[in-house]
Amino acid sequence: MARVLTLTLNPALDLALCTGPLRLGEVNRTQSTRLDAAGKGINVARVLARLGHAVTVSGLLGADNQTAFVQAFATCGLTDAFIRIPGETRINAKISEPDGRVTDLNGPGARVPPAALEALLERLESLVTGLDAVAISGSLPPGVAPEHLAALITRLRARQVAVWLDTSDAALAAGLAARPSGVKPNDVELAAWAGHPLDTPDAQLQAALKLNASGIDDVLLSLGADGVLWASRGQALAATPPAVSVVSTVGAGDTLLAATLHGVLSGWSRERTLGFATALSAESVRHIGLGEPDAPDFEQLLHATQLRDPTAERRPGENHP
């Protein structure tokens, strides 16, 4: 299997809470509570390791509460190459309600000293040789500016390694300008880049293809219950997930990215890759946690995932680029 590095610059201890309908300003009872050493890149790493890849995790980790992370890395078979920084890694609360609504309460993260960022860049130089891909996921902590992220992507791309990016806001804008190999925005994030609403499937398709034309080979657009659009080198494929009961959407996007990378790195066809990734993401929302490829009914979910050519759905007579 492939050798992959995931970078999480702003990891978190994720406190996942399942509740009844949330009543603001009142006492609410949780139905379940779970605390995980997480962060988007770490979530991607867990799925990739579960699928058989050799995965190294790196980034910036608070030294004062690292125990849960160290234990998780050992349990999941991940190679720990994190730079430790002073202070505590943040705690993010994710509240899931029965109707599928998820409310995130995310902390900013510990401030990163300039020396720690330099140490990370030096460590990456020793890690990048022989890698098949790097996945950079999540927000930026205080002390790491969007231009730092862009420089990091440029540095990795200069070493001829594939770089996939999943972030948002100013970090996404700066990251896109550095031309990673692939990106995984949602519709809101892609609309922010495009500068106008993407309120139709065709508008989403055109924006994704425009990113392809700008030099980003793969655009994996996650659309929640509406599925996934994958624009790859000017060719598009869409997937509709099977209908499932939603418990929590936390980690669904990370599962989608990891499963897509799995297919790409395994040399699968686009159809097989997107079908697998969409089904595994759908599996993940049925429970708290990441997608389980060993779920007893995963084959049924896979067969119920529908693929289609989105270009065939464009209305005839429209003037498309």
By annotation, the residues acting in catalysis are 254
d(CA 317, CA 305): 30
Question: 314: alpha, beta or left, given left = phi > 0 and alpha = psi -120 to 50?
Answer: beta
d(CA 97, CA 46): 25
Q: CB burial class (10 A; 0-12, 13-18, 19+) of residue 281?
A: buried
Q: CB burial class (10 A; 0-12, 13-18, 19+) of residue 285?
A: buried
Distance (Å) of CA 148 to CA 4, 62, 170, 173: 21, 19, 12, 12
Contact 97, 21 (CB under 8 A): yes
d(CA 218, CA 102): 28
d(CA 207, CA 294): 35
Q: Which residues of 174-204 are buried (b: 16+ CB within 10 A; e: fewer)?
A: bbbebbbbbbbbebebbbbbbeeebeebbbb
Query: Does an H or E element contain 163, and which?
Result: strand 162-166
Q: To 5 degrees, how large is the angle CA 131–CA 49–CA 5?
A: 30
